[in-house]
Amino acid sequence: MHYDACMSDSDAATDAAAVDLSRLQHELLRTRIDRARRMTEEQRLAEAFALTDSTFVRMHEGAMAEMAVTDPAHGWQQVRRRLERLRRARGVIPPANVPSAAQ
């Protein structure tokens, strides 16, 4: 028996949606790659800093939501603790000028 004959309409729709999603993901990736290739070094560096900033904002928002606190200082303290834990787990020594989360 052929595979298609065993598929329900729902299965076929799911497969078609997956193919469409894969194509969309490929197009988005290609667009991002083309955009990056057109950027100057300064633009790429600025983009890297912007991505880093947005990542820290999400980390801060997530820490505050998990701890159910409204004081931003407590959220940043938790972000520092988590980053220190990652550094220790990976054996990375933080720069000397980075304040400890214990402070």
32 with 16, same domain: the answer is yes
**What's the Cα-to-Cα distance from 73 to each of 46, 68, 69, 84, 95, rounded to whole Å?**
26, 13, 10, 16, 21
- Report yes or no on 16 lying in a domain: yes
pTM: 0.59
26 with 71, same domain: the answer is no
Range of the domain at 34: 7-38
Burial of 75 (0-12, 13-18, 19+ CB in 10 A): buried
Our count of domains for the chain comes to 2
87 with 57, same domain: the answer is yes
Residue 31: how many other CB atoms lie within 10 Å: 10
- Report yes or no on 1 lying in a domain: no
pLDDT tens for the 103 residues of the chain, in order? 455 556 566 777 788 888 888 999 999 999 989 998 999 999 999 999 999 999 999 999 999 999 999 999 999 999 999 999 998 888 887 666 666 655 5
